Structure 1
Amino acid sequence: MILDFVLDVSPTTLIIFFPAGILIYSLLQYIFNPLRSIPGPFLARFSRLWYFLEIYKGSFEETNIELHRRYGPIVRVAPHEYSIDDVDAARTIYGHGNAFVKAPWYKAWMPPDVNKASLFSDLNPHRHGFQRRKFSSLYSMSSLVGYEPFVNNCTSLLCQRFNEIAQAGKTVNLQHWLQCYAFDVIGEITFANRFGFLDMGEDKEGVFGAIDARGLYSTFVGIFPWIHPILYPLLPKTGGHGYVLNYTLRQIEERQRTLKDPRNTGREGPPDVMTKILLAHEEDPNKMTKTDLITMCQSNIGAGSDTTAITLSSILYHLVKYPQTFHTLRNEVDAAAKEGKVSDPVTFKEAQDLPYLQAVIKEALRMHSATGLPMQRVVPSAGTTIANHFIPGGSSVGINAWVAHRNTSIYGPDAGQWRPERWLEFEQQGRGAEVEKYALAFGMGSRTCIGKNISLLEMSKLVPQLVRKFDFQLDEELERDGLKSCNRWFVKQMNFKGKVFARDVKQDV
Structure 2
Amino acid sequence: MALWSGIYDRFHRFAFAVFSLLAGGKGAGREYVVNLSKTRVAEEQARRKAAAAAAQAGREELRGAEPFVSKFLAKHEQDPEKFIMQHVLAGCTANMVAGSDTTGISLSAIIYYLLKHPRCMRALRSEIASFQERGLLSTPFGFKETQQMPYLQAVIKEALRIHPATCLPMERVVPEGGATISGRFFPANTIVGINSWVAHRNTQIFGADADEFNPERWLISDKDKLAAMNRQWIPFGMGSRTCIGRHISTLEISKLIPRIVNDFDFELSDAGSGNSWVTQDYWFVKPRGFKVKVTSRKPEC
Matched residue SS, 1:399: coil
Instruction: Tell me which residue corresponds to 1:402.
Output: 197
**Residue of 377, 386, 410 corresponding to 2:181:** 386
Q: Does 1:233 align with 2:22?
A: no
Residue 264 to residue 413, structure 1, CA distance change in 2 (3 Å) = farther
User: Which segments of 5 or more consecutive residues in structure 1 lack a partner in the other structure?
Assistant: 1-216
Structure with higher RCO (Cα < 8 A, 6+ apart): 1
Q: Where in structure 2 are the equivalents of 1:221-370 lying within 5 Å? A: 221-236=5-20, 238-241=26-29, 242-261=31-50, 262-263=52-53, 267=61, 268-370=63-165
Q: Deviations over 1:47-96 (max 9, x none)?
A: xxxxxxxxxxxxxxxxxxxxxxxxxxxxxxxxxxxxxxxxxxxxxxxxxx
Deviates more, 1:439-448 or 1:476-485: 476-485
SS in 2 for 1:476: coil
User: How far, CA to CA, are the matches of 1:247 and 1:305 in structure 2?
Assistant: 14
Is the CA contact 1:258–1:264 (under 8 Å) kept in the aligned structure 2? no
Q: Runs of 4+ in structure 1 displaced over 6 angstroms?
A: none
For the residues of structure 1 that align with 2:260 and 2:28, how far apart are their CA atoms?
30
2:222 is matched with which residue?
429
Note the C-alpha offset of 1:313. Answer: 0.6
Output the CA distance in 2 between the equivalents of 1:334 and 1:369.
28
- TM-score with structure 1 setting the length: 0.53
Give the distance between the partners of 1:287 and 1:391, measured in 2 at CA: 43
Offset of residue 469 of structure 1: 1.7
Q: How far is the alpha carbon of 1:411 from its aligned partner?
A: 1.4
TM-score, length-scaled by structure 2: 0.88
Alpha-carbon distance change, 439 to 465 in structure 1, aligned in 2, over 3 angstroms: same
Name the amino acid aligned to 1:465: R
Tell me how far apart the structure 2 counterparts of residues 504 and 279 of structure 1 sit (CA, whole Å).
42
Equivalent runs, 1:91-240 vs 2, <5 Å: 217-236=1-20, 238-240=26-28
In the alignment, residue 410 of structure 1 is paired with which amino acid? I
Q: Write the letter of the residue equivalent to 1:493.
A: P
Write the letter of the residue equivalent to 1:503: R
Q: 1:356 to 1:220 in 2, by over 3 A?
A: same
Mapped to 2, the partners of 1:257 and 1:477 lie a distance apart of 46
Which is greater in Rg?
1
Alignment of 1:448-463 (within 5 A): 448-463=242-257
1:333/1:483 Cα in 2 relative to 1: closer, same or farther (>3 Å)?
Answer: same
What is the CA RMSD across the aligned residues, in angstroms?
2.1
Q: Which amino acid aligns with 2:240?
A: S
Which of the two has greater helix per residue?
Answer: 1
1:478 and 1:496 in contact (8 A); partners too: no
Identity of matched residues, %: 43
* Structure 1 position 477, deviation (Å): 5.1
Match of residue 133 from structure 1: none
Rate the CA distance shift 1:503–1:260 in 2: closer, same or farther, 3 A.
Answer: closer
- Contact 2:127-2:151 at 8 Å conserved across structures: yes
Q: Does 1:491 align with 2:282?
A: no
* Distance in 2 between residues matched to 1:264 and 1:412, nearest whole Å: 63
Contact in 2 for aligned 1:367/1:405 (Cα 8 Å): yes
State yes or no: 1:447 paired with 2:241: yes
For this pair of structures, how many residues does the alignment match?
A: 287
Deviation at 1:383, TM superposition (A): 1.9
> Aligned partners of 1:490, 1:438: CA distance in 2, in Å?
20
CA distance in 2, matches of 1:398, 1:264: 55
1:248 and 1:477 map into 2 onto residues whose CA distance is 35
Rounded Cα–Cα distance in structure 2 between residues aligned with 1:254 and 1:398: 43
* 1: CA distance, partners of 2:123 / 2:272: 23
